Structure 1
Amino acid sequence: MTLSAQHEDAARIRADLITAIILIALGLAVTYLSWTMDRLTVRRIHPATIPGLVPFVLGVALTLCGSLLAFRSWKLDTKAGGVALLNLLLSWQTIRVVTVAALALVYTLGLVGRMPFWLASALFVFAFIVLFETVLADRPANLVRTLIWALVVALVAGVGVNYVFGQIFLVRLP
């Protein structure tokens, strides 16, 4: 195994451990919140159909899976895992992943509901194409050509998604 592969494995093991801790915390929170949810016994609802039953089972399963991942990662963890993980977090791939997450958040929390759905979707697609074809590409494409291509695809996607979901599937869009 090469030194680079060893660093990648150490980074993944450390990332798994951090992910496991987050999953355990999330699972415990879901379990607790579903346990404290109203039981609706006043309305004579059977205990097997309580509103918090499915989230409770999912919270327990998430906690269990997180615990198994934590146990495995703890056993395999190496001393160089922290440095390798930090190097991985500062890599070009991480910048791309964070960009996708940021675009998705801007789209869902900032654009949808504040403007027509087709326009919000078109802006998202346009920004995505321009960023990943020029700024975040390994070999950036021609900017003018990318802008024209992104505009065409964004308009077709925005109007197309709006039409398909609104007219064919009869889904009310925001």
Structure 2
Amino acid sequence: MNSLTLIILSICLLGTLTECKRRRKGKWRVAGDLSYTRDSGWAGKLGVSLSWRRKKRSTNEEVFDVKMYMVNTNTGSRFKVNPCDFALYDQDDDLDVTMADFDILFSDVDKTKHVLEEQLFTELDADNDKKISVTEFEEKRGLVFSKNTCVINAA
């Protein structure tokens, strides 16, 4: 065997091993083939293919981790309430949540956090009609609130 044949054989072997190792990640692939016939002698070929995947973005990103407490003004005691309960947001019981309901609910919150209230409202208002219906709330709840938000633990 001459040195050229050894080089081609080495490249094909390296390409085959690399293909087995890297193919699962889908980044790049090198494949080779080496053959011998009496008539033509040694023949080889080497192929390289590159493929890039974009990072998949999840639509289930955890956006808000909301913790709400009801406080008894007489005793000062407090307990955690479920922020994933639609009735909590619907302060005027009209079966729609508006920004006015949010203003009542978050009236004791520092005004610098008002932007977060608006963001939460915008995320839940799927059809941008300035009202959050029960259907919108149920559809968007899993996409807007973090997994820990809807879990009630004694605080």
Bigger Rg, structure 1 or 2: 2
Which of the pair is proportionally richer in strand? 2
Structure 2 length normalisation: TM-score? 0.24
